[in-house]
Structures are given as structure tokens and as C-alpha cells.
Structure 1
């Protein structure tokens, strides 16, 4: 685990499974617009949470790139799931602002709800094609920009699927 203190918030990077982070109050879903099960991170979260998650989410969608909504965690070890729709790289413009908005909106939602510890995947880096190094810079800068204004959130964890993704996020974290 790599850590860095940014204002009142500790930002961490770990390699692992985002659905197995029992010490976090909320995890973030790299959602699709309809907030349905889908593949990738969304599929893993929905499978672990059970069918109640999709049932709760359907009336919350559709959402647009950069937006975030919150649901319960259902069968996950986390009380909440915050669903963000990241941009499709090369299609949704301006992709850097939309990606940053995902992280800001999720953190502000979490803070308003009193969530103290939240976990993020690398939003938009899977099937949406966002280059991992660019995504790491944009997401960590967004967290650093909003961190000083957070009252409740004390831990932000990036839960990354591969060793390579973690190494890229570690490098970006040391650079901010």
C-alpha cells in the first residue's frame, strides 16, 4: 500500500478487488449510463451486491458522463455504492473534465452523507479506453483539489486491478 496525506485526507493505492474492501464505508462503481449490471467493475460490483443493487439503481438512471448517484451496498461489505459514469475516451468531450467530475462528485456526495472512507476503481480505463497514466493524473489531481474542503471523508483508496495499474497510480500519487 502506498499512502500520501493531502490536507485532512489520506490517499492510498492498493492492488485488489474493490468488492472486498470491508473497512470502507463506500465503494465507487465505474457504472454504465443505465446503472445496470454490465461488465468490468460494474459487473463485479453488481454480482457481489446481488440483484437488489440493480433494482435500486434503475430509477436513479440514466446518468450522464461526470455524474454520480448513491445507492445502498446490499450484499457488499460496504454500506454504500456511489455510481459514476466516466467518459468514453475519444468520444465524450472534454474527457479530462468529465473524468475529474466523477471523482469530485463522488467525494462531495460521500462527504455530504458522512462517509469517512471511500474506494475508487480506475474509472474509464477499461472498456471506455482511457489511458491509465492520463487517468491516474486526472483522478489524483481531482482528489487533491477537493480534499481540503472535505469534512467527513478521511480516507480515499484507489483499488487497482493489476500491479501495473497500481504502479502507474503510485507514480502519479508521488507527483502531486
Structure 2
């Protein structure tokens, strides 16, 4: 039910890909930039509609758009926290980002979903702590629902993959 792979999340064929977005929803660097670039203009168009309706996406929350040219039906955009030495509720905000993404996926009858390593790039969240929060949140969520059948953690690099592997094997 939970898988770990090293690769490019934009190439994974699932019902929904999660984007580690910024609150503007207008694209950025890292996985966010790759998803917008490879998915094409339809994703940005949907993001602009969401911005017009609600003004973006707050940290810990999630919104859903088309996946455009990606091999998925949807992109779920969530905003992870910027690490500030763990003093600003970052762990709970990261948990909420994963939880709210899963909740939105289930609401849209998503059977398979892939996650990047949210907040561990330029947002500076310690990789080990982030992986533990991600895995624990996903495990808790999927045991309490019957819709989502497959969750894939997609690590872009070997470092994150090596962090996730032992935690998943626990």
C-alpha cells in the first residue's frame, strides 16, 4: 500500500500527484517548477482561478487542479512550512499538509497518490523528521479510510531515499 521510489514525480502514473507548492500557487522552483513546466499551462490556469476565489493556499492546506500533460488526473497542491528551528509549529503544519492532501484525494475518489519530500528543499525542514511525519501521517490516514489504495513517496535524490527507507521498514 505504501511504496518508495527514487525518480521524477512528474513521470509517475497515479491518479494524483502532490505538489510542494508555495502559497501563491503560481509555480516556483524544485518540484513545484517541474510540475508546472511538465504539466503545461492548464495547471497554472486552474491555480489562478483558485487564487481569484480564495487568494492562494495557506501553509498546511491543500487545493486540487487538473494535472494537464502529466500522467495523472489531478495535482494536489499543498504548502509545507518553512523550518524555523521547530519553534513555529512546523511539525504540525507539515502533518496537516500531508493529511489535508490525503483528505482532498479521498474526497475526489483518488485511488493512487504520489508525494514528494515536502518542505525538505529550500524550506529547510530536517529530512529525517519530515520523513517520519510524512510516513506516520500517511499510515494513520490510510488505515481509517477505504478509498486510497496506493501511496508512493517519490524521492528525487538518493539522500532522501536513504532517509525514507529505514523509516518505512520499521
TM-score by length of structure 2 reads: 0.94
Match of 1:102 in 2: 97
State the superposition RMSD in angstroms: 1.2
- Larger helix fraction of residues: 2
Tell me the distance in 2 between the aligned counterparts of 1:25 and 1:67: 19
SS of 1:63's equivalent in the other structure is coil
Tell me the distance in 2 between the aligned counterparts of 1:142 and 1:71: 23
SS of 2:110's equivalent in the other structure is coil
Say whether 1:56 aligns with 2:46. yes
Aligned residues: 165
How does 1:1-176 map onto structure 2 within 5 Å?
10-22=1-13, 24-61=14-51, 62-90=56-84, 93-175=88-170
Structure 1 residue runs without a partner (length 5+): 1-9
Tell me the distance in 2 between the aligned counterparts of 1:142 and 1:117: 16
Deviation of the 1:104 alpha carbon: 0.6
Tell me the distance in 2 between the aligned counterparts of 1:60 and 1:135: 27
Structure 2 residue runs without a partner (length 5+): none
SS of 2:109's equivalent in the other structure is coil
Deviation of the 1:97 alpha carbon: 0.4
Alignment check: 8 A CA contact 1:132 1:168 kept: yes
Deviation of the 1:172 alpha carbon: 1.2
SS of 1:156's equivalent in the other structure is strand
Deviation of the 1:121 alpha carbon: 0.1
Question: CA-to-partner distance for each residue in 1:85-137, whole Å, 9 max, x for gaps?
Answer: 00000078200000011111111111111110000000000010011111001
Match of 1:5 in 2: none
SS of 1:64's equivalent in the other structure is coil
Alignment check: 8 A CA contact 2:42 2:66 kept: no
Deviation of the 1:80 alpha carbon: 0.2
